[in-house]
Structure 1
Amino acid sequence: MTDSDLDWLSLQAGDGQRVHVYRWLPERDPVAVVQIAHGMGEHAARYDWTARQLNAAGYAVYANDHRGHGRTAHPARLGWMGPDGWNRVVADAGDLTDFIAREHPGLPRVLLGHSMGAMLTQQYLYRYGTKLDAAVLSGSPGMAGRLQSWLSRAIATVERWRLGPESESAVMQKLLFGKSNDAFDAPGATGYEWLSRDAGQVAAYVADPQCGFVLRTGSLCDLFAGAAEAQHQENVLQIPPALPVYVFSGSDDPVHRQEKNLERLLAKYRRHLERVDYRSYPGGRHEMLNETNRDEVVQDLLAWLSAALSNPSGNPATASSPN
């Protein structure tokens, strides 16, 4: 099945941008809705398998291609989100949640963000957290230390000045992912083995022309500014305290720096939120939903969702949804 075979719709953002949205509906009336925010250098159609597993458990699923990605992007400008693009990407996610609320009034709503989508979710939670009943972070980079955060922003700013905001940067490619595959290198390696132990999933990613790119310099600057903003204590305190959050990752995922950055995120969240659960999968890499044990990962996700959504009175979004 190709992405053109999937059910989709187009939403218009406030600035006129058309945002491509995929929709997977279960055969019976849904029990809740899961909104997926994909990562950098990929697209929402890659979550077809995950969406179908959620459908089988009774969940409706929606996922949009972010600006600069997939069918929302111009094919020649992958990685360019536009001026103030990252803030607009986060706002697009809020708009999609509003659309979901109109389509499925009264149903619990969950935002599941992977990698860059987890970074999006970390910002979404303090901007629009009252729209949700639960949130899930997959493959999150966590929260960087001050030096790491400052260096990333400084280098991206220099590259934007040197090349222009709409340009690709080999320096940023190397900075972000140059060492990601070091632990998995072997003869015949593609450079993307860090994503999954499943060679078929890695091969599909490598063969996909809409995968494997890094954001343009201007969009990276916006992203890093947003990531720093999400770490500010005053913003964390804006997240609804009763909102349950589930974080899962592979122990061998290079993006969280041996879980140090995840520990920083979990500590900040647990000081403010009533329920923050974490699961680490031994030997797992970056894309746990495309890993060799993805059936286990999805079953754990479904069990957590069932428990987290079993008490609607404690969930801010459902309580405020129109009848």
Structure 2
Amino acid sequence: MPEPGAAPRRSPQGVPYSDLPHIVNADGLHLFCRYWEPDGPPRALVFIAHGAGEHCGPYDKIAQRLKGLSLLVFAHDHVGHGQSEGDRMIIKDFQVYIRDSLQHIDLMKSRYPDLPIFIIGHSMGGAISILTACERSSDFAGVVLIAPMVQMNPDSATPFKVFLAKVLNHMLPSLTLGSIQSKWVSRDQTEVEAYDADKLNFHGGLRVSFGIQLMGAAARIEREIPSISWPFLLLHGDADKLCDIRGSKMMYENAPSSDKGFKIYEGGYHALHNDLPEVAESVLKEVTTWITERLPDTTSPQPQGS
């Protein structure tokens, strides 16, 4: 609780956290949360991990569809993102994202101890999801990965560039490397314009120090893949210029899980759930069908439109 007379903690947008759903992480930072609760008793919990530079708001379409199937969906803006506290797109350790995700998941699990838990992760949120599930491999009924960051793009991760990045990180950690190109997010121009206009997205340059954290996460995922036993579904566009599809292929081929799927979208860009309308709809159907097929009750309602 704040000290008597202390000013209330406010989001980066100036809204008091007392007026917003939130959790407080282990570092004392407030993380903005969203909850999509079904009308009746939930049949499963689904945690959504958003990508770098964005926030959990754009996952409303997926969340609403799952909510309509009696699933309770929840998410938060990662530290330094959206309506959460923290320096924008600066992280001292990638593990903070995983730790915060597990905190939120444990909170919901304590309220609904008997429900299966799924994770949906996109882009950097895919890396967070993979490593979160690896830390608690028996806790999750399944993980859905939409264009996940599994490997750094080989063209940007040559040994020399990695060495250079580490030198720069030591000398100039706040040096920026350029920003996320919104034109590669979606083939739907309306979605690109919405991404550019969204003030909760980060439109600045990515720092060298952040790139180093992503490299470390990718290296850790590569070490974990041979021991992945939990069910997962990979969805990736073969024209994705932001997260290399070769990482998804490598994960699919090398993870020993007995329940794994991989769907490639020909010509698909990075945010498949916000790509061309027919692709976005296909992604919604794939995700909802895959999750509902793994619910304990086989008399589950079918996904809309299937």
Pick the TM interval, shorter chain.
0.7 to 0.9
Deviation digits for residues 30-71 of structure 1, max 9, x if unmatched? 111110000011011121222111111221111111111111
Letter in 2 for 1:70: G
- Structure 1: how far apart are the matches of 2:263 and 2:37? 28
Show the counterpart of 2:9. none
Show the counterpart of 1:226. 217
Q: Match of 1:173, SS?
A: coil
* Contact in 1 for aligned 2:44/2:71 (Cα 8 Å): yes
* Contact in 2 for aligned 1:142/1:263 (Cα 8 Å): no
How far is the alpha carbon of 1:80 from its aligned partner?
A: 1.4
Letter in 2 for 1:102: S
Show the counterpart of 1:276. 260
Show the counterpart of 1:72. 84
* Contact in 2 for aligned 1:143/1:265 (Cα 8 Å): no
Letter in 1 for 2:178: Q
Q: 1:152 to 1:117 in 2, by over 3 A?
A: farther
- Structure 1: how far apart are the matches of 2:188 and 2:259? 32
Show the counterpart of 2:68. 56
- Structure 2: how far apart are the matches of 1:310 and 1:214? 45
| Pairs within 5 Å for 1:203-222 | 203-211=193-201, 212-222=203-213
Q: 1:173 aligns with which of 175, 178, 186?
A: 178
- Structure 1: how far apart are the matches of 2:189 and 2:163? 36
| Pairs within 5 Å for 1:191-202 | 191-202=181-192
- Structure 1: how far apart are the matches of 2:160 and 2:38? 45
Q: Match of 1:255, SS?
A: coil
Deviation digits for residues 174-202 of structure 1, max 9, x if unmatched? 7xx5xxxxxxxxxxxxx522111221111
Q: 1:42 to 1:32 in 2, by over 3 A?
A: same
* Contact in 1 for aligned 2:43/2:71 (Cα 8 Å): yes
- Structure 2: how far apart are the matches of 1:135 and 1:215? 27
Q: 1:22 to 1:153 in 2, by over 3 A?
A: farther
| Pairs within 5 Å for 1:237-276 | 237-239=226-228, 241=229, 243-257=230-244, 259-269=245-255, 272-276=256-260
Q: 2:33 aligns with which of 21, 25, 29?
A: 21
- Structure 1: how far apart are the matches of 2:38 and 2:160? 45
Q: 1:146 to 1:285 in 2, by over 3 A?
A: closer
How far is the alpha carbon of 1:101 from its aligned partner?
A: 0.4
* Segment of structure 1 superposing worse, 302-311 or 221-230: 302-311
Deviation digits for residues 213-265 of structure 1, max 9, x if unmatched? 45433233222112101111xx33543x2x210000122212344x3232112
- What fraction of aligned residue pairs are identical, expressed as a percent? 25
* Contact in 2 for aligned 1:127/1:238 (Cα 8 Å): no
Aligned residues: 278
Unmatched 5+ residue regions in structure 1?
178-190, 313-323
Q: 1:26 to 1:153 in 2, by over 3 A?
A: farther
Q: Match of 2:267, SS?
A: coil
Unmatched 5+ residue regions in structure 2?
1-12, 299-306
Show the counterpart of 1:154. 163
Higher relative contact order (CA 8 A, sep 6+): 1
TM-score between the two structures when normalised by the length of structure 1: 0.78
Show the counterpart of 1:182. none
* Contact in 2 for aligned 1:153/1:225 (Cα 8 Å): no
TM-score between the two structures when normalised by the length of structure 2: 0.82
Q: Match of 1:72, SS?
A: coil
Question: If each structure's helix is expressed as a fraction of its own residues, which one has the higher value?
Answer: 1
CA RMSD between the two structures: 2.5
Q: Match of 2:167, SS?
A: helix
How far is the alpha carbon of 1:280 from its aligned partner?
A: 1.3
Q: 1:215 to 1:121 in 2, by over 3 A?
A: farther
How far is the alpha carbon of 1:117 from its aligned partner?
A: 0.3
Asked whether 1:118 is paired with 2:126, we answer yes
Letter in 2 for 1:110: F
